[in-house]
Every structure is written in structure tokens, then in C-alpha cells.
Amino acid sequence: MKRFVSRCMVAASRIIVFSLSGLSWADAAHPVVALLPSVVDPFYFTMHRGAERAAKEENVELLFQVPKVWNTSEQVPILKAFIAKRPDLLLISPVDKQQLIGPLKEAADADIKVITLDTYIGNGHYQTGKGDADFPLSYIASENLEGGRVAARALAKAIGDKGTVYCENTKPGISSTDARAEGFAEEMNKHPNITVLQTLYNEDDANQAAAHVAAVLARNPDLAGVFGANTFSGSGAAQGVKAAGK
């Protein structure tokens, strides 16, 4: 699974290079690109490095700021500040697929090209990101539904295809982690000897994820495995398992 995530991170940085080089800057005397990730996370800092490389190659100015936590109250003010600077292109990982439609429409209405990364807006398809909010030019991401399936298969194999497991997730309404949880549940349906408990949401807080593991273990001492659907869900779940001496 670590190799799978690592490949996704490398691909993300490369794709940003291709995204920038594939755009025409004919109408911009001094092209400006804004990159707005979702939260402080190694995955998004890898994206930033890819964007820095592309900006240097394409001779464009790169604006970058990252929210401290994953929520709209952190991301939207940064987005509005970027819109006020009128960049030619906005690369963004929306923190919520519904609540970011309006703010991003403001960017599009200001003639700023919008590309979503890792997460999309609207009720889009998990691969194309196209749906009821179709103004972004493109959606670039790993195949999150399949990522959930891969995690389920790996976990099933690790526990001998029997036992009790659950999904530790960040919060509902995020396209990437919603798809991972969906793929995980879909694949686990093929394993009748594995019981899947209710998904728990930790608000992207590793400490809360660790507390969830402790609570689930108290109710289900035979817990065999946990699928952490994102960075802090995974690291927090690992802390919880370690603290329990499991």
C-alpha cells in the first residue's frame, strides 16, 4: 500500500508539470498560477514541488498557500484572496464537493481557469469529476475507488480472510475519501467471513482517530484490522493500535 501511495504522489507532481505545459499563455504577459491544496500533508507538498518545477520550466509565477486544517473556513478565505489576485490558472484540491461550488464559480466567472486536483466538486463521476459543476477544465487524481478496493484486498489477505474490521475516515462529503470508503465496502462484500463495522469520522484529526480505535477495541476486542482512508486517519489508527499494544 505504501508503494501504491508513493506512486500516486510521484504521478501527481508529474501531472501538474503536464497540466501547466499543456496550457497556452498567449493572452498573458506574465502568467500567474495559484496552487491551493486542502491541508498540510506530505502528499500536497509533493504536488507543490511538482508545480514549482513546472512553473520554472514554463516561466510562470506560482502562488501557493495551504490551509492548516481541512475545512471550508480555512480554505475559502485563501481561495478568495487568490481570486482577488486574478491568476490565470487556479489549481485546487476542494475540501468539500458541495460547499466549494459557489466559491469556485466566482473564480470561473472572473475568467480564471480552474483545475481540481485529488478532489472534485459537485456530484461528479469518481474518474472524470464531471457532474453538476462542470466549469473546471479538468480533474486530476488517483483512482480512489480502486484504491479502496486495493486496501480491502490487502487487509483481507493480512487477516486471513476472516475477522472484524472497520474504516476510519476523515469526514463525509470529500470526493476522494468517499470513493475510497465506497471501494473498500464494495470489495469487502466479496469476503463473507469478514464483518465490517460502521465507518467512523475523525474530522481529519489523528488523535480522534486513535481514540476511535480504543473505543472500537473496547466494544470489539477481536478487532482484526482498520482501513485508514487518508493520511491522518491512517496515522491516528496506527497510534491507537500501538497504544492498545496490539
Query: Which domain CATH number covers 35?
Result: 3.40.50.2300
d(CA 27, CA 84) in angstroms, rounded, equals 19
- For 21, residues 6+ apart whose C-beta sits below 8 A from its C-beta are 54, 57, 58
Its pTM stands at 0.77
Pair 88, 129 in one domain: yes
Per DSSP, which regions of the chain are E strands?
32-36, 61-64, 89-92, 113-117, 138-140, 163-169, 194-196, 200-201, 223-228
In the listed set 84, 117, 140, which residue is the last one of a domain according to the structure? 140
Pair 158, 122 in one domain: no
Containing structural domain, residue 198? 144-243
Q: What is the dihedral of CA 71, 12, 154, 235, to 10 degrees?
A: -40
Q: What is the pLDDT along the chain (246 residues), one digit of tens a residue?
A: 444 444 444 445 555 555 555 565 555 567 999 999 998 888 888 999 999 998 998 899 999 999 998 899 999 999 999 999 999 999 999 999 899 999 999 999 999 999 999 888 987 554 455 556 778 998 888 899 999 999 999 999 999 999 999 999 999 989 899 999 999 999 999 999 999 999 999 999 999 999 999 999 999 999 999 999 999 999 999 999 999 999
As for how many domains the chain has, the answer is 2
Pair 11, 123 in one domain: yes
Place of cell 488523535: 207
Pair 153, 185 in one domain: yes
DSSP 8-state assignment for residue 163? E
In the listed set 116, 140, 164, which residue is the last one of a domain according to the structure? 140
